[in-house]
A = this chain, B = another copy of it.
Amino acid sequence: MIRIGILGFGKTGKIVANEFLSDPQFHLSWVIRNTHNASHKYASRLLGHESDAGEIFSSADIDAAFFIDHPIDALVDFSGSGGLTFYQRAAEAGVPIISAISNYTPHEQALLHSFSALTPLLYSPNITLGINVLLVAAQILQKIAPHADIEIVEEHFKGKSEVSGTAKKLAQVLQLDATQHVNSIRVGGVIGRHEIIFGMPNQTIRLSHESINRAAFGQGAIFAAKFLIGQPPGLYTMETIIAGMFRQNIPVY
């Protein structure tokens, strides 16, 4: 069984923990959270499982020996940029790191790079399989059909005020001005939908991704953990992994 430590136990962190708890290939060793809430309780119990797994620790209680006393095979971070403080020990122990944090500062990004010299480190703000498939496929299509007009449509719940980071990332890799070519729809409770439209004079291609629920993040972390274990040190993203899988899976005739 692959032993996992998780940083963060907020809304998404809980769902991610639950995905690892539900997968027989994994053992959730522990969870570190910022508060003292539920300290030393088991994440598994709080999430309705019938066994003990994922003991919860407060970040204030983590000392130098923690990573030695509580060994893991991969570290998964859905906390915030503060989770970075724990990466050094994981990196020194050669433990693969999966970071799904948005908005690192340049200084923090430099730290990520330095850790990636020691261990395989994956950094992807949107770690779902589907979004990264779209990122890669869209870039290839743009090369195959360079004259196609490309527009990005993203739909999310009414309360989401800013443009989706994923849509901005799509625009960036396609070298489109996001202020011109990202169309943001805000209605009701839509969890998340991204569509890339390739318009040609006589035909239209659409690539779309719909989120059903946040467990997709947990499945993305599972996918990443399985991939990263055994890889050489370096900086990875879901996008580079998916691009590699595209390369290996081009149909052969």
Q: Given the complex, which residues of B lie within 8 Å of A210, measured CB to CB?
A: 203-204, 206
Q: Given the complex, which residues of B lie within 8 Å of A151, measured CB to CB?
A: 185-187
Nearest CB on B from A97, distance (A): 18
Contact with B along A217-228 (1 / 0, CB 8 A): 001000000000
Do A203 and B216 touch (CB < 8 A)?
yes
Stretch at the interface among A36-44, A68-76, A116-124, A189-197: A189-197
A136, B191: Cα distance in complex, Å: 27
Q: Given the complex, which residues of B lie within 8 Å of A239, measured CB to CB?
A: 251, 253
Do A202 and B197 touch (CB < 8 A)?
no
Do B129 and A133 touch (CB < 8 A)?
no
Do A203 and B212 touch (CB < 8 A)?
yes
A201, B199: Cα distance in complex, Å: 23
Do A249 and B188 touch (CB < 8 A)?
no
A206, B190: Cα distance in complex, Å: 12
Q: Which of B155, B215, B246 contacts A246 (CB 8 A)?
A: B246
Do A201 and B185 touch (CB < 8 A)?
no
Do A140 and B251 touch (CB < 8 A)?
yes
CB contact under 8 A between A212 and B188, given known A141-B133, A144-B249: yes
A240, B253: Cα distance in complex, Å: 7
Do B144 and A245 touch (CB < 8 A)?
yes
Please tell me if A53 contacts chain B, counting CB pairs below 8 Å. no
Do B209 and A202 touch (CB < 8 A)?
no
Nearest CB on B from A4, distance (A): 18
A212, B205: Cα distance in complex, Å: 11
Q: Given the complex, which residues of B lie within 8 Å of A189, measured CB to CB?
A: 199-204, 212-213
CB contact under 8 A between A158 and B199, given known A129-B145, A153-B183, A212-B191: yes
| CB-defined A-B contacts under 8 Å, sample of 13 | A128-B203, A129-B203, A130-B203, A140-B251, A143-B248, A143-B249, A149-B186, A183-B185, A186-B199, A187-B197, A201-B219, A206-B209, A247-B247
